[in-house]
Structure 1
Amino acid sequence: MYKKLLIKQFEIDFNCDSELLQESFFLTSTSNSDARYWDRNKADIVCFNNKIFVRTEIEALTKELEKLYGNINAEWFLEMNHIYKLNHTLKKYQLKIERIAPFFIPNKVINSEEIPLTFQRFNQEDIFNFKQNKQITESFCYSEHDPDQIGFGYYVDNTLIAICGANKNGKYTWEIGIEILDRNFNKKGIATMLVKTLISTIQKEQPNIIPVYSTSLSHTNSMNVAINAGCRVGWSEIIISEI
């Protein structure tokens, strides 16, 4: 349901037109301020719809990666033998793989009206009140460039138990963060209900924004929250940073 918006965001991320996104490509180009946070480094690789999108700012690196992976079967690009070669190649240019992550997007319009819990909404002006709370590390980023947009909290007896938020992360994307602050409330479905509420609100109020949920490949509980909230994997990404 978000295909057109996602293509528009990838056009910005990779500084290209939509025609280039029809096939795998290797491109030398700089990023820009409307790109997603993860794509503002000197290189980025996205696996999307059985294609590989590669952008670097270094022509020699772009050519080397195209030589290595130009004919690869995109579905199997994240096999470890390819990752080893990639990391070795990046080191020659003072770059490294920072993380490899799946990015989830909603698979449908989310209905949160039947959620049995009551959540408190936080708008932009409310979110800064949480900046000094050291328990909250994932929900908000407090960034001027990628400002937090909206959040929801779950309270029990005036104690904050769980919280989630979404910050602007690209022209057409807001990225979701979620955390349970009291372990006694783990595995009760609260995280899923918070994420569903957040996504549903964004869909109603911001139809030109894609809610994006990212996590670690090893964090199965987090991935299940996204799936149970009505999301699917939109793409996988190799996030690259400087050494």
Structure 2
Amino acid sequence: MDRIVASQLASDYCCTFGDVLNGTNIFTVFHASEGQRRFDDDGKCFLKIAAANGKILCCGREDIISVLSKELKNADGQWFMEAKALAKLNKMISDYGFHIKQAHPFFVAAEKTIVTANDFDIVWYTQDEILQFAGDSRFDEAFAFSKTAPDVLGAAAYRDGRIVGMSGASSDSPKMYQIGINTIPEARGNGIGTALVEILKNAVLDKGILPFYGTALSHIASQRVAIKAGFLPAWAELITEQDSN
């Protein structure tokens, strides 16, 4: 397992580097600290679970962790994100007024690669320049405009004077930036998405930061983009949110 990923998960899940790498499922009560990836604006965490290194890391509120430390003590991390297991977990946390918000696989890339981008021009956007795209649904995956993970770098592919694709990097933590990508429908299938992700990956690595890429479990096209751009599967993760009234 990548040491930066292990270090980041240790911070996120309020455990030690050794806890992440050993073979035992880990259950910890959440406390906010510097360097964590945050998934909401209030800094609280009812429950989040990562499947990594063949095990699970569970972190959250003391009451639910007390229950899960018994129920999931021997859970197999490699199969934890199966529908049956997620349905069981969702039922358990529903008693507390919460539900699973999302469950995603994540990929990381530790090496730069040579990019072929001969049929379009690249235009770079700084953190301030990215703000012009707020509310632009064309780029809702490239830029999240999150207060806790600000968008810090963007790269657009221009063809014939118009944007045909956009990749963005958000500062999810001091150690790791997350990359997102949008390609306009008529430009899909010709490698623009892969090239933009690869270009931004290289730029993030040049900053001494590890790029990572998350997508939906069923979004095979997006996963293929990640793999073609030099990313490899690293961990899976679920987060929860409170039921609406």
TM-score over 0.5 (shorter chain): yes
Task: Please say which of residues 71-80 and 159-168 is displaced more in the overlay.
Answer: 71-80
CA RMSD in angstroms, aligned pairs only: 1.8
Is 2:161 the counterpart of 1:162? no
CA offsets 1:151-183 (integer angstroms, 9 cap, x no match): 1001112111111100111231111110012x2
User: Larger deviation: 113-122 or 79-88?
Assistant: 113-122
Cα–Cα, structure 1 residues 98 and 69, in superposed 2: closer, same or farther, change >3 Å? same
1:60, CA displacement in angstroms? 2.6
Structure having greater relative contact order (Cα 8 Å, sep ≥ 6): 1
1:73 deviation in Å? Answer: 2.2
Range 66-75 or range 28-37, more displaced: 28-37
Structure 1 distance, partners of 2:128, 2:100, is 35
Opposite residue 166 of structure 2, the aligned amino acid is I
Spell out the pairing of 1:45-84 with structure 2 (5 A cutoff): 45-57=49-61, 59-84=62-87
| Whole-Å separation in 1 of the counterparts to 2:80 and 2:135 | 41
CA shift for structure 1 position 114: 4.0
Q: Is the 8 A contact 1:164 1:176 kept in 2?
A: yes
Which aligned pairs between 1:186-197 and structure 2 lie closer than 5 A?
186-197=188-199
Q: Which runs of 5+ in 1 are unaligned?
A: none
Q: Which residue pairs with 1:143 in the alignment? A: 146
Counterpart-to-counterpart distance in 2, 1:29 and 1:125 = 33
Alpha-carbon displacement from aligned partner over 1:208-227 (angstroms, at most 9, x marks no partner): x2211111111111110001
The residue number in structure 2 matching 1:3 is: 2
Confirm whether residue 238 of structure 1 aligns to residue 238 of structure 2. yes
| Alignment partners' CA distance in 1, 2:80 and 2:133 | 40
| Shift of residue 135, structure 1, vs aligned partner | 2.3
TM-score (norm: length of structure 1)? 0.90
Question: Which TM-score applies when normalising by structure 2?
Answer: 0.90
Task: Percent identity, please.
Answer: 27
Q: 1:14, 1:31 within 8 Å by CA — same for their partners in 2?
A: no
SS in 2 for 1:135: helix
Question: Does structure 2 retain, via aligned residues, the 8 Å contact 1:167–1:175?
Answer: yes
Contact 1:9 1:171 in 2 (8 A): no
Q: What is the CA deviation profile of residues 71-100 of structure 1, one whole-angstrom value per residue up to 9, with x for unaligned ones? A: 122212222222121011111111110111
1:213 aligned partner, one-letter code:
Y
The answer to whether 1:129 aligns with 2:137 is no
Following the alignment from structure 1 to structure 2, what is the Cα–Cα distance between the partners of residues 94 and 62?
Answer: 15
**Alignment counterpart, residue 199 of structure 1, candidates 181, 201, 217:** 201
